[in-house]
Amino acid sequence: MSEEKIIAPMVGKVIKLNVKSGDQVKINQPVVVFESMKIEMDIMTPVDGTVKEIKVSPGQVIEAEQVLLTIETL
C-alpha cells in the first residue's frame, strides 16, 4: 500500500468536502470543492483508493500546495 497526498493547486477557501475518512474513491472523483478568485472548482483524486485522513474543513482558508487529504492506494 502507498499513500497519495491531494494538494491545493492554489490559494483559496474550502467550500465543501465530498468525502469522509474511510470512503472509497475512484480516479477523477471530485473530493473537495474550493473557491479561488470567486470561482468554485473541484479537486479530483488522481487515484483509486480509500480516504485515510482529511486535513481541512469547510470554510478553512488554504494555501497553495497545502495537503488537503490523503488517500491510501493498493
pLDDT of residue 36: 95
Residue 74 has pLDDT above 90, yes or no: no
Q: What is the pLDDT of residues 57-68, one digit of tens each?
A: 999 999 999 999
Neighbours of 68 (CB within 10 A): 19
Segments making up each domain of the chain, as ranges: 2-66
pTM (predicted TM-score): 0.92
Q: What is the CATH number of domain 2-66?
A: 2.40.50.100
Q: Cα separation of 40 and 71, whole Å?
A: 23
Per DSSP bridges, beta strands 61-62 and 39-44 are unpaired
- Indicate the SS3 state at residue 63: coil
